[in-house]
Amino acid sequence: MADRVIQRKKKPIQLAVVDQNGCTGCEACIQFCPVDCILVVPGEGGIPGHYQLVEVDLDRCIGCTLCAKYCPWETIYMLPYDEAYARAPQLTLRSVWHPEWNERPPVAVGTPAGGERALGEPTAEP
């Protein structure tokens, strides 16, 4: 799916990126997307509903902010256009749109407290 080219009339100022570390797969965001660019990513082993996540197709996102506004877990970020493409691979644990992201090793990311951990690793309890 990563090889498809979507022609845009106008480049959005911002795009929605799901931080899958906080996504519960509740699908609340999907119903608000006016361009249907949010997809459910099946859980491990392809089991529907089992540890599922959601992912935004950046090539189709128009930056409307509705998904971020209605995400009950506040795990969808509106990022500037170029930053969204740069940070999406780090915030994505499992991808349908970009399967090549699934094959990479975990990367260290900053946490809100300023510490670092590898994506997918649980945070240590104090």
Q: What is the pLDDT of residues 82-96, one digit of tens each?
A: 999 999 999 998 888
Q: Does residue 109 sit within a domain?
A: yes
pLDDT (tens, 9 = 90+) of the chain, 126 residues, equals 445 556 778 999 999 999 999 999 999 999 999 999 999 988 877 666 678 999 999 999 999 999 999 999 999 999 999 999 999 999 998 888 888 887 765 554 444 444 444 444 444 444
Could you tell me if residue 126 is inside a domain? no
3-state secondary structure of 16: strand
**Does 124 fall in a domain?**
no
As a whole number of angstroms, the distance between CA 1 and CA 98 comes to 6
Domain extent for 65: 14-118
Domain count, the chain: 1
Angle at 31 between CA 74 and CA 100, to 5 degrees: 70
Residue 48's CATH number: 3.30.70.20
Residues 6+ apart with CB under 8 A from 52: 25, 40, 41, 42, 43
Q: Structure pTM?
A: 0.73
Tell whether 21 is covered by a domain. yes
Nearest-5° angle of CA 123, CA 69, CA 62? Answer: 105
Instruction: Show the DSSP H helices in 1-126 as ranges.
Output: 66-70, 81-91
Coil, helix or strand at residue 68: helix
Residue 45 lies in a domain: yes
Residue 94 lies in a domain: yes
Residue 72 inside a domain? The answer is yes
